[in-house]
Amino acid sequence: MNLSPLRIGIAGIAGRVGRLLCEEISSTHATISGGTSLSKDLLNLTCQVPVFDEIEALINVSDVIIDFTNASITGRHAKALQNSQTAWILGTTGISDEDQNLIEETSKTIPIVQAANFSPGVALMIRLASEMAKALPAENYDVEILEAHHRQKVDAPSGTAIAIGEAIAKGRQVDLKQVQEVGRYGVTGARKKNAIGFASLRGGQIVGEHSAFFISDVEEISLTHKAFDRRIFARGAVRSAFWSVDKPAGLYGLSHVLGLDSI
């Protein structure tokens, strides 16, 4: 039995979520082994730990990596982790299809917990959206997904909105890419019967809001989640890091960590 504290490395340690990860891990019995960052944003980092330029150096001193960085480096991280025995908690969004395939390949050798949103409320919302999609047929109910985020967000629709859309598409047994309508503009023609629509708002410092609307001719039912503080994502990721210890290789979601799959 290994009694030494879990060593957690934070990729993106100086970011909005990375800084909160420092605080959250500090209040557990784990240690922060270090972080990675683009050097220019290290100002006022409260967490006094080594910061590396390369992910490989961080992996060398860590049992698990929590990654909230940028999709442009996810592929590189996947390759660096591929042959190691280091678990990966992946929160970065906006990941390309090619890199997502690489993540799936990598999960054959290490445990990966990937979630577009590490809040328990959103994990439950995704589950409920899938159940609603099974119960409310596409012939009668139009689905629209609305998300709102802070002005600095670089990808749209948000990874969470896409995850909600995928859950609804799965519930309807269709491929999201075949039915999605993203960012309508101009003369679009009438809404397609089975479409899943997406709209994105960007402004101020909105942490993250998501709604899924099921709209028929005679009623509307909707689910809404609002994150008030990004600490909720940091907490979910830290919980996932502890959960990942001793898990076999595989691609997991927050629903596995929370045990929602058994509901």
Write the CA distances from 6 to 50, 110, 121, 248, 250, integer angstroms. Answer: 16, 16, 26, 17, 20
Q: How far is the CB of 94 from ligand NAD (least distance, A)?
A: 6
> How much is the CA Rg of the chain, to the nearest whole Å?
19
- Residue number of the CB closest to ligand NAD reads 15
Rounded distance between C-alpha atoms, residue 3 and residue 15, angstroms: 31
Using the rule CB under 6 A, is 92 a contact of ligand NAD? yes
Q: Which of 21, 24, 36, 81 binds ligand NAD (CB under 6 A)?
A: 36
At 81 the three-state DSSP class reads helix
Using the rule CB under 6 A, is 243 a contact of ligand NAD? no
Residues near ligand NAD (CB under 6 A), total = 25
Q: How far is the CB of 138 from ligand NAD (least distance, A)?
A: 28
The structure tokens listed for 110 are 């290490």
Contact status, residue 65 vs residue 18, Cβ threshold 8 Å: no
Residues 68-87, interacting with ligand NAD (CB under 6 A)? 68-70, 72-73
Residue type, 122: V
Rounded distance between C-alpha atoms, residue 175 and residue 169, angstroms: 6
149 is catalytic: yes
The structure tokens listed for 173 are 């047994």
Query: Which of 68/198 has CB closer to ligand NAD?
Result: 68
Choice among 29, 77, 79, 153 that is catalytic: 153
Q: Which of 115, 162, 164, 167 binds ligand NAD (CB under 6 A)?
A: 115
**Angle at CA of residue 252, ends 247 and 254, nearest 5°:** 110
247 is catalytic: no
- Site residues (CB under 6 A) for ligand NAD? 12, 14-18, 36-38, 41, 68-70, 72-73, 91-94, 115-118, 230, 233
**Residues with active-site annotation:** 149, 153
